[in-house]
Amino acid sequence: MALPRLNNDNPIYEMVIPSTKKTIKYRPFLVKEQKNLLIAVESQDAKQIMNSMLACLQSCTENCNIEDLATFDVDYMFTQIRSKSVGEKTNIITPCSECNHENTVSLDLSGIQIDIDSLPKNEIQLTNEIKLKMKYPTYQDMMKSEKIFSNDPKMVEVLFETLILCMHSIQTEEENILIKDESREEIESFINSLTNEQLDSINIFVQNLPTLTHNLEYRCEKCGHENKTELRGMQDFF
């Protein structure tokens, strides 16, 4: 005899996507989605974890294409859905800056926000005739890069790959050239032709992409030192 499938009335919540300001509806994780996430985490494979997270978010949201969203949108959405699924509180293990003792600190995920009021300028004037338009990277694009999701990623290579993923188009007096239509060789040749000053102006955009942040304050349970630390990026929250 087949067991019944439960048609539970899951609560529906709303949230605003940071970059688009669009309001979407979402529900908490179900057991099957939570199980897939746990299996992915146990694998310690970064790409499998990311695929599971994107699939989970797609299942839990309505009228939203997760693959098209910026990385910081996905990070924010995951923290909000997780807070409604397994609890708004999570424990962060962080070392004391004085004695290095690892403290377990409780954090309220529902209160985490992303500051997008000071978004980096997405148009960069490289010369009088050439302008570079930037865009927010997506996890879908990042997973196509073997260097970002390698077993031993190099910081310089990750920064270089992220820079390429953030390039949308090059505008000249005659034409608008989409980066996605160009070969890898052409893109690298363009970047290698930049001056250090021009490269720095592009890196400002990459380095100032919005991310999850939270100022954490706690007293060390061992030495009593008052700690103040910044959590930055989703990896610091889980």
Q: Which residues, including other chains, have CB under 8 Å from residue 99's CB and lie 6 or more apart?
A: 220, 222, 223, 225
Yes or no: say if 58 and 37 are a contact pair by the CB < 8 Å rule: no
What pLDDT is stored for residue 6 in this prediction?
Answer: 55
- Map tokens 């980096």 to a residue: 120
Instruction: Identify the pLDDT of residue 238.
Output: 63
C-alpha distances in Å from residue 97, one per residue of 90, 100, 134, 215, 220: 21, 6, 37, 14, 9
Residue 210: count other Cβ atoms within 10 Å of its Cβ.
21
The pTM (predicted TM-score) of the whole model is 0.83
Rounded Cα–Cα distance for residues 171 and 162 (Å): 20
Residue spans per domain, the chain:
13-114+211-236, 123-207
pLDDT digits (tens, 9 = 90+) for 66-103: 999 999 999 999 999 988 888 888 888 899 999 999 99
pLDDT in tens, the chain (238 residues): 565 655 555 789 999 998 888 999 999 988 888 898 889 888 878 888 889 999 999 999 998 999 999 999 999 999 999 888 888 888 888 999 999 999 999 888 877 778 777 777 889 999 999 999 999 999 998 888 877 776 676 778 888 899 999 999 999 988 999 999 999 999 999 999 999 999 999 999 988 888 888 888 999 999 999 999 888 877 766 6
Q: What is the pLDDT of residue 151?
A: 65
